[in-house]
Chain A
């Protein structure tokens, strides 16, 4: 399965990067989301894959029975999921605000506001 997942990760990275290379900020945010999925999966696979053996010590037992899924990448990914949500939420609201202010979601138009007045589309 790790081979399959490697291709899934590659596909997600490719899709995410392609979207981030677009001029539309909306697509950029979608790309960012895809990229964080890819990164989460990437981290998840580094510990190796173990089917259906969560790192939980059974009730009554004093220690975990091997094999079990690696808890360290899981802890990392858990943090990453939450953080990436924070980033996506912030980026979305920023995008919304930008669009309200400038009236475009084209990244190239954003840099032009350095020269002209911001309300040129008003």
Chain B
């Protein structure tokens, strides 16, 4: 199993190369591996029928209790066969559909990567491994939806799908972690399934259930997250056929079925899932009615179908689980085929709008035949496999004994509504484009080449074959899958003919209503079009508004915090520092020095020096002349040097005098070439800056006082004092520290100075283009003057 997943990913890596060298045959070559894997997995059917399962495991992050575990039982087998089987067909179909596309190699890469992720998802036997593959399908799906990345709509749809499904996945991860904690830090799926009662008794049960629901519902396009699926129809049709009907959107359904033994059966489980499922069925059915784009029609009917599966799993009876899984298989077959048909029509005629299509049966007889067969499946007409699933659906909703038995009338009504709409959609997609009078299309229609009709034909025929011998299929595929979800399930017997009973009656009702709606589609749709105005109050509108809100917020805070103005950055930084320190002081985190600390002896010349420095700094700020400011700055520097002298730091004082003199000379030299100082900012800004500056100064004063009042730990200083003479043979301790104990730091300092010196030299020597040009222009302006006066060119 692990090899199957790895081989798919490996093939994904080399697929672009295969495409480059094999050209047209690349689709077939690429499809070989998934086809072989289909056979490989199918060979496990016998094992599954005996009620056994296969496990492979190896350690990954043992300390976290995470092991990579792959687990194959009936449920995963059903999914793997869909993934590999339909996957290989999509490879062939996609090769034909995108034959002239310049990025066909990339298409195979993304498609196979998705296939590998999806396989990993359904085979994962550990919740965290499952999550990794789950998000991987979201990412590969993002790449696939945005395949036509030059189209803005495709990019937006890809992003929307990614945000919704990957975001839902993240919440689901939180749910998984809770689930693992409830189960004692164990993320092994099979171990969790055995602890169902303990999990349901936990106080975390409801939150973790809700979080996992969000993950499953976003992935399976349940209301209110449904809207990403129709938008994802921007993807090339092979991708829609694969991801958005057969595989990825079923991942949520798969997860719910997988966890049903552990989480299911509670009131919360049943009520939330049946409600969400039923709402999704209604929303999908109603919105499908207003679509004219074939792919969107199919997408909304897929939403309704996914709602049906969620609703069935939610009701939780044995019969409902059976119905859900039969429906899952039947739906994958016909919806995949119909998407491919829609793709063929779009590819051959240049449009997928059912309103402008008609009478194609003569031009595309083969496509028309396949379409009608697949359409009969969607409409659930006997002897199709889907007819059986529809009967089972009605029977499950009518089941009084199930948990959702109280709502059976409502659920049945919703099921009939969905069934009706499936008939209408089948008519619109599979019948209307081919019958009636021929309409003019952008391209003149021809039948599709073999690689394009082969896949839908196979899927459509499978619908009939499965319908005619349902028990062959269910014994091998469905029954083991049901056993995985509903242990100790009774053996099942399926047949097309159940006798005259209520489900049959409901089937007839839905088919008749569907046909009526199909006939009245044009008139009814245009007459009730005004209702579509309400759609902007829907969840998609909320999603868009939320996105805009975040963007606005980001733009607003970026404009404030990241506006490229140094003074604003400084204001924010100092403001925050002042605020936080003041807050800490108020909370009593810092103790102020006692009153007697302030009663220290001060000599009169020290007071004079302090006042001198303060006065000079005020003068430097207030001075309107450049030289005045520089002189004041020099006074501050010399004042600081005097402080150093007074308090036992002759080295510092020497350096400070030297450096200050150099700085002043440099400033005078440069400032002579600079403009005069003038007040640029207004009074209000200056007042604001002054307040912030004074607050900052007060903060620093306070901090110095607090620092000075704290008992000083002299160990480091004493160490240097004690070791200076015996170890380093130096009597000046400061010098010894600099050149001996911390010699490397001084080397770093020298390096900084050297870099600064190189920078200064470079800036002085380099003559930027602008200056050269300005100089040139000056010369040119002068030139005509001189030529007129002298009558000859002057050498410049």
Contact = CB atoms under 8 A, between A and B. Distances in A.
Interface in A71-119: 71-72, 74-75, 77-79, 81-83, 85-90, 92-97, 99-102, 104-108, 111, 118-119
Interface in B649-702: 649-652, 655-656, 659, 662-663, 666-667, 670-671, 673-675, 677-678, 680-681, 689-690, 692-694, 696-702
A75 B614 contact: no
B647 interface: yes
Nearest to A27: B677
Nearest to A48: B712
Q: Is the interface of A mostly helix, strand, loop or mixed?
A: helix
A18 to B, nearest CB: 4
Given A34-B636, A111-B565, A18 B621 contact: yes
Contacts, number: 293
B774 interface: yes
B746 to A, nearest CB: 7
A97 B670 CA distance: 10
A85 B636 CA distance: 15
Interface residues of B, number: 104
B732 to A, nearest CB: 5
Nearest to A3: B598
A89 to B, nearest CB: 6
B618 interface: yes
B689 A21 contact: yes
B760 A89 contact: yes
Interface string B742-753: 100110010011
Contact of A94 (B567, B626, B663, B763): B763
Contact of A15 (B693, B704, B757, B760): B693
B693 A95 contact: no
Contacts of A6: 701-702, 704-705, 708
Contacts of B712: 47-48
B704 A34 contact: no
Given A78-B651, A81-B655, A101-B770, A34 B620 contact: yes
A71 B610 contact: no
Contacts of A90: 756, 759-760, 763
A96 B672 CA distance: 10
Given A54-B650, A64-B721, A72-B737, A4 B640 contact: no
B647 A122 contact: no
A90 B717 CA distance: 33
Nearest to B695: A14
B674 A95 contact: yes
B749 A82 contact: yes
B707 interface: yes
Contacts of A37: 636-637, 640
B777 interface: yes
B771 A38 contact: no
Contact of B647 (A33, A50, A86): A50
A1 B602 contact: yes
Contact of A2 (B600, B636, B694, B742): B600
A20 B567 contact: yes
Contacts of B565: 107-108, 111
Contacts of B700: 9-10, 13, 38, 42
B680 A92 contact: no
Contacts of B724: 57
B620 A30 contact: yes
Contacts of A78: 651-652, 655, 734, 738
Most chain A CB inside 10 Å of its own CB: which residue of B597, B678, B704, B763? B704
Contacts of B597: 3
Contacts of B689: 18, 21-22
A99 B672 CA distance: 12
A83 B677 contact: no
A5 B640 CA distance: 10
A99 B673 contact: yes
B643 to A, nearest CB: 7
A79 B777 contact: no
A63 B742 CA distance: 21
Contact of B681 (A8, A19, A23, A40): A23
Contacts of B630: 30
B523 interface: no
B36 interface: no
B764 interface: yes
A90 B620 CA distance: 21
B221 interface: no
A42 B621 CA distance: 20
Contacts of A107: 565-567
Contacts of A100: 673, 768, 771
Given A18-B621, A34-B620, A85-B663, A45 B696 contact: no
B113 interface: no
Contact of B753 (A15, A23, A71, A83): A83
Contacts of A23: 567, 680-681
B720 A71 contact: yes
B570 interface: yes
B717 A26 contact: no
B650 A19 contact: no
A68 to B, nearest CB: 7
B629 interface: yes
A107 B733 CA distance: 44
B734 A81 contact: no
A6 B646 CA distance: 16
B668 to A, nearest CB: 11
B571 interface: yes
Contact of B629 (A21, A30, A83, A93): A30
A-B pairs with lowest CB-CB distance, top 9: A14-B697, A10-B701, A69-B648, A86-B756, A18-B693, A10-B697, A6-B704, A71-B733, A15-B617
12 contacts: A4-B602, A18-B689, A21-B571, A51-B647, A64-B721, A75-B734, A75-B737, A87-B756, A90-B756, A92-B670, A107-B567, A111-B564
Given A11-B617, A50-B648, 14 more contacts: A3-B598, A12-B613, A12-B617, A21-B570, A47-B717, A54-B649, A72-B716, A85-B663, A88-B663, A97-B768, A99-B673, A102-B770, A119-B773, A119-B774
